[in-house]
Amino acid sequence: MQKYEDRWLCFAVEVPAGWIADGVPGGFALFMPETDQNSFNITNVALEETTLAQALAEVKRGSLGAYVQEVKDFTVGGQPALWVTLSPDNPDSSGIKLVVMVIAPDCGDGAHALFISATGADQGSLEAFLNYVRFIQGDY
């Protein structure tokens, strides 16, 4: 298993064998099995305030806002998160049905809001991927 780290955004992902990992540090990371159509994206989201409420407000203001079906509390890597399920008939989603919003803890440069989205994946697949996500804490 390889490890993908984004030290600026304070997260690491234990990438399973047979998966592709790519990204731009401080911006986004993409993870996908070589033999599957599912993909998972972790994206930095700049917010005025780094809170889950602000992250949810950002989604609701954007093009996906009209397609939010459900929002529930969740946990990723020990951090509080929000799980957002989008309507499957959303024409603007590019196949995104599920988004998890989490605030990565401060690892020296402040906390960061991250959106973790799944394209083509079901709830179980996203939950399995989230088990590989860890957060780097403290000065790094």
Q: What is the mean pLDDT of residues 91-116?
A: 81
Measure the CA angle with vertex 57, ends 51 and 58; round to 5°. 90
The dihedrals phi and psi of 125, each to the nearest 5 degrees, come to -65, -40
The residue type found at 57 is A
pLDDT above 50: residue 58: yes
Confidence (pLDDT) at 91: 64
Domain boundaries in the chain? Answer: 2-135
Based on C-alpha coordinates, what's the Rg of the chain? Answer: 14
Look at the block and give the residue holding tokens 């599957």.
36
Q: H helices of 1-140, where?
A: 52-61, 123-130
pLDDT above 50: residue 57: yes
Tell me the C-alpha to C-alpha distance, in Å, between residue 84 and each of 20, 39, 67, 107.
25, 17, 10, 26
CATH 3.40.50.700 fits domain 2-135: no
Q: How confident is the model at residue 140 (pLDDT cuts 50, 70, 90)?
A: very low
Could you tell me whether strands 68-76 and 39-45 are parallel, antiparallel, or unpaired per DSSP bridges?
Answer: unpaired
Note the pLDDT tens digit of each residue in 33-46.
Answer: 998 888 999 999 88
